[in-house]
Amino acid sequence: QVQLQESGPGLVKPSETLSLTCTVSGGSVSSGSYYWSWIRQPPGKGLEWIGYIYYSGSTNYNPSLKSRVTISVDTSKNQFSLKLSSVTAADTAVYYCARGQLGEMATRYWGQGTLVTVSS
């Protein structure tokens, strides 16, 4: 059973860069059958897809966030990461990492989520 765990600072200052890492266990980020996603949810609001990466390093980002987002993968550590630059209070959210299944285009496995607050 694959498990995903987010880690990173819970507090980030405005204008700085938010950095999160997702550690995958019970499965490999090198598998060609999946895509590895970041999804966020502001407090009390709905889900927003941020982007995803394939094991090859190929990425796709939400057009509304594309200029500020970088997703990368480290196959040696079985991890993938999110960087979101120039953050504002509007970026305060629970950030989830997740695994999607190619062919289904759906996300079966999710991390527990981590709250990141943007505040000075």
Binding site residues, other proteins, CB under 8 A: 46-49, 60, 62-64, 96, 101, 104-108, 110-113
Task: Please identify, using beta-carbon distances, which residue of 56 and 64 lies nearer to other proteins.
Answer: 64
Task: Please identify, using beta-carbon distances, which residue of 16 and 48 lies nearer to other proteins.
Answer: 48
Strand-pair partners of 51:
38, 61
Closest separation between CB of residue 109 and other proteins, Å?
Answer: 9
Task: Please identify, using beta-carbon distances, which residue of 16 and 94 lies nearer to other proteins.
Answer: 94
Strand-pair partners of 90:
none
Q: Where are the beta strands (DSSP E) in 1-120?
A: 3-7, 11-12, 18-25, 34-41, 48-53, 59-61, 69-74, 79-84, 93-101, 106-110, 114-118
Closest separation between CB of residue 83 and other proteins, Å?
Answer: 19
Closest separation between CB of residue 43 and other proteins, Å?
Answer: 11
What does the alpha-carbon distance between residue 105 and residue 103 come to, in Å, rounded to a whole number?
6
Residue listed under structure tokens 């498990």: 3
Closest separation between CB of residue 54 and other proteins, Å?
Answer: 10
Task: Please identify, using beta-carbon distances, which residue of 62 and 70 lies nearer to other proteins.
Answer: 62
Do residues 69 and 61 make contact, with C-beta atoms less than 8 angstroms apart? yes
